[in-house]
Structure 1
Amino acid sequence: MTFSFFRSCCVLNNYIPISMAMDIFETLEDEFDEYFDRLTIPRKTPVYRERINYMETLDETDFRARFRLTKKAVMFVYSIIEKAISVPTERNLAIKPINRLLLTLRFYATGSFLTVVGDFSGVSKASASRFVYLVSQAIARLRGLFIKFPSNTEDIQQEFFNIAKFPRLIGAIDCTHVPIKSPGGNNAEEWRNRKSQFSFNVQTVVSAKLRILDIVARWPGAAHDQTIFNNSFIKQRLQNGEFRNCVIVGDRGYENTSYLLTPLQTPMTPAEHLYNESQIRSRNVVERTYGVWKNRFPILSKKILLSVSRVQAVIVACAVLHNIAIDMRDDHFEAIYPVGEPDEHDVVNQSSLENVGDATVRSNLINDYFGSLL
């Protein structure tokens, strides 16, 4: 009995709906076709593709344009993670660890399909996927070394003070969305953000020099910025007084507290206007950081075509590499952002009530410090 005849019998006798019958038998036909193909098609001979040594064939300018880091920075990262990404054997022309790293950097630099990245490096799509995950995890594990607040925050305070004379400031906080493909499943809508895109909502605290001092990269796109902050370790550190009387600044998406200062919604006095101007100019560094970060690694702006479980390592790895590049004074991926312009929360929340918790520190700062500058 053929599939077509059996399908007709089922439909005519009302065993199952016609749409369901078609789906079932089309699936069965595909599976049987693939099975018989495997029986009849001889096993393919392994194909070894050409693998170019880009460290030798490209000059510094072309290398940096393709991999978004200098050769010196790449070799520094390689020296740290070499053992973690090494191959147990070189049989069958196994791809070398340095080429695994370059393949991953190429993926970050383009955000392209794994097939394209694999062709660029002379490996299959499956190998490219495996190497990207392996290297991303190895780099992300360096988070504790490169993404942290220094033990002495005086230098950070001075750097922020040089921008707009905001005192005791050690960081600017905000969130940015990193697009991903639909994760599927029953909870897929949790990953859809306010712009109807699937994404991770990534929180960072940055310095005046655009270094990422803290990162939280595990929340879906629908999560609110304040929710992410409430459940973050950096909030606990601030609440516990680990940074003494130092503060961070954020936009109106956050609640104003004694350690996180937000702008005033309706400044009235000259001192309040001066506070708002200084706060916004100081906070602008976090937007600049996102511009530099995403310009260096365009994968963060494009839709990451990996499973959700693998995206987090990519985001954290890009943050680690961003800080390493800054440490090595490779700062040529600057994006232009207007200083002192209101951001999205400033505009959206103009008509809403001001989100104020503990305003004592902010009030004292305005009256005692910014008032004295007039």
Structure 2
Amino acid sequence: MAGIVHRYRRRYHQRVHAECPKPLEQYTSEELYARFHFGRDDIKYIADLVRPTLQHQTQRSHALSVEEQCFITLHFYACGTFYQVIGDNMGVRKSTVSNVVKAMSVALGSLIKQFVSFPKDDQTAQTKHKFFQMGNMPSTIGAIDCTHVHIQAPCEREWEYVNRKGRHSINIKLVGNADLILTNCVVKWPGSVHDALILRESALYRELQSHRPNGIVLGDSAYPLLPWLMTPFSVANTPEQERFNSSYCKTRCAIERLNGVLNRWFACLNYLRVQPKVACNIFLACIVLHSMATRRHVPLDDNFDGPEPDVEPEQPSMFLPNEGHTGLAIRDAIVRNYF
């Protein structure tokens, strides 16, 4: 018996791969729109945009196609539920959903300059005309606001992300036009950072300060009064100032409507259970998708109930005093000439 050698053969279990659903084949256009907020041609267009980045270089038989990655990510953006739920619906694991959403968000976010740009000289006339049609505010080329995207408590520098309401968030600067299209954004600052500081440190501020635009941008009371940035009168003492404030509110509501569209269209933005860097990439991706949707005339939810009375309580002293004096003179001139 001592000379008998026992040999054991390892038994390999064949891996079973779940079949990933093929929404383009199994859903109608209405069902695609309901689940992913985009139609068949739009999804194909999105897949072609990110294909150079996401196309697998390997020949693995069970690698997800670019189209499948698009469906997983768009489903998450649209409903904002847990990765596990998305995975169960799409026939993949939770970890796969996480990896796909991260990769897809980076790929889409890298296209931001292609889809978001401030109006050039040859575009300002049309921009001004559309803003004027909204509320009779002259020479308006943009409306600015900041919005907070709530996130889970980050692992590092957690206190920096606590906003004035005591929640963890990313504070994001948005500039839009009358057609609810984003023309500028800054997506990187923790929730504790003031709106005015985000503007002061932005490339847009440096550009508009050094090359004064032929027009004005409308901001709320969280922002300073600058030669190219108009804010409302805190107290309207004359009928002309009252008319200015009324026109200001009707015109600037475009950016508040735009922010509302983003949050309703991409439900994931209501609360992101991810770390700050991933949250920023997801928001950038949603901005790109929104801009793409407006260009392709995808119907967006634009139900607006009115502006939210939520502005930063006090403005830090971070701008030069003479900037405010010049802005005051320009605002008075607008009131005198137009209202």
Residue 310 of structure 1, aligned match among 278, 283, 289 = 278
For residue 180 of structure 1, what is the amino acid of its counterpart?
I
For residue 305 of structure 1, what is the amino acid of its counterpart?
R
What is the CA-CA distance between 1:89 and the residue it aligns to? Answer: 3.3
Q: Secondary structure at the match of 2:20?
A: coil
Confirm whether residue 63 of structure 1 aligns to residue 32 of structure 2. yes
Query: Which stretches in structure 1 are left out of the alignment for 5+ residues?
Result: 1-41, 350-354
Change (3 A) 1:46 1:194: farther
Confirm whether residue 177 of structure 1 aligns to residue 148 of structure 2. yes
Q: Judge conservation of contact 2:212–2:228 (CA < 8 Å) in 1.
A: no
Q: Secondary structure at the match of 2:164?
A: coil
Hey, what's the Cα distance between the residues in 2 that align with 1:342 and 1:164?
18
C-alpha root-mean-square deviation of aligned residues, in Å?
A: 2.3
Q: Judge conservation of contact 1:68–1:296 (CA < 8 Å) in 2.
A: yes
Cα deviations by residue, 1:203-227 (Å, 9 ceiling, x for unpaired): 1000011101111110011111011
What is the CA-CA distance between 1:126 and the residue it aligns to? Answer: 1.7
Cα deviations by residue, 1:158-207 (Å, 9 ceiling, x for unpaired): 1111111211111100000111111023x201101112111100110000
The aligned residue for residue 167 of structure 1 is 138
Q: Judge conservation of contact 2:54–2:66 (CA < 8 Å) in 1.
A: yes
Change (3 A) 1:92 1:160: same
Hey, what's the Cα distance between the residues in 2 that align with 1:365 and 1:113?
48
The aligned residue for residue 210 of structure 1 is 180
Q: Secondary structure at the match of 1:178?
A: strand
Hey, what's the Cα distance between the residues in 1 that align with 2:308 and 2:206?
28
Change (3 A) 1:308 1:47: farther
Hey, what's the Cα distance between the residues in 1 that align with 2:118 and 2:40?
27
Hey, what's the Cα distance between the residues in 1 that align with 2:134 and 2:325?
24
For residue 343 of structure 1, what is the amino acid of its counterpart?
P
Q: Judge conservation of contact 2:147–2:173 (CA < 8 Å) in 1.
A: yes
For residue 283 of structure 2, what is the amino acid of its counterpart?
I
How many residue pairs match? The answer is 323
Change (3 A) 1:159 1:256: same
Percent of pairs with identical residues: 28
Confirm whether residue 270 of structure 1 aligns to residue 239 of structure 2. yes
Hey, what's the Cα distance between the residues in 2 that align with 1:289 and 1:329?
15
**Misfit runs of 4+, over 6 Å:** none
For residue 257 of structure 1, what is the amino acid of its counterpart?
L
Hey, what's the Cα distance between the residues in 1 that align with 2:50 and 2:337?
52
What is the CA-CA distance between 1:237 and the residue it aligns to? Answer: 1.2
Q: Judge conservation of contact 1:170–1:248 (CA < 8 Å) in 2.
A: yes
Hey, what's the Cα distance between the residues in 2 that align with 1:364 and 1:142?
37
Q: Secondary structure at the match of 1:253?
A: coil
Q: Judge conservation of contact 2:112–2:284 (CA < 8 Å) in 1.
A: yes
Please identify which structure carries the higher helix content.
Answer: 1
Matching of residues 1-150 of structure 1 within 5 Å: 46-150=15-119
For residue 210 of structure 2, what is the amino acid of its counterpart?
N
The aligned residue for residue 226 of structure 1 is 196
Confirm whether residue 360 of structure 1 aligns to residue 329 of structure 2. no
TM-score, structure 1 length as denominator?
0.81
Cα deviations by residue, 1:311-338 (Å, 9 ceiling, x for unpaired): 1110001001011111112233112222
Confirm whether residue 326 of structure 1 aligns to residue 294 of structure 2. yes
What is the CA-CA distance between 1:285 and the residue it aligns to? Answer: 0.8
For residue 192 of structure 2, what is the amino acid of its counterpart?
A
For residue 223 of structure 2, what is the amino acid of its counterpart?
Y
For residue 181 of structure 1, what is the amino acid of its counterpart?
Q
Residue 246 of structure 1, aligned match among 207, 215, 227 = 215
Deviates more, 1:222-231 or 1:74-83: 74-83
Q: Secondary structure at the match of 1:345?
A: coil
Q: Secondary structure at the match of 1:123?
A: coil
Q: Judge conservation of contact 2:54–2:107 (CA < 8 Å) in 1.
A: yes
Change (3 A) 1:115 1:362: same
Hey, what's the Cα distance between the residues in 2 that align with 1:122 and 1:102?
11
The aligned residue for residue 343 of structure 1 is 309
What is the CA-CA distance between 1:43 and the residue it aligns to? Answer: 8.5
Change (3 A) 1:126 1:44: farther
What is the CA-CA distance between 1:54 and the residue it aligns to? Answer: 0.3
What is the CA-CA distance between 1:305 and the residue it aligns to? Answer: 1.5
For residue 360 of structure 1, what is the amino acid of its counterpart?
T
Q: Judge conservation of contact 2:225–2:327 (CA < 8 Å) in 1.
A: no
Q: Secondary structure at the match of 1:91?
A: coil
Query: Which stretches in structure 2 are left out of the alignment for 5+ residues?
Result: 1-10
What is the CA-CA distance between 1:342 and the residue it aligns to? Answer: 7.1
What is the CA-CA distance between 1:90 and the residue it aligns to? Answer: 4.3
Residue 167 of structure 2, aligned match among 166, 188, 197 = 197
Largest Rg, 1 or 2: 1
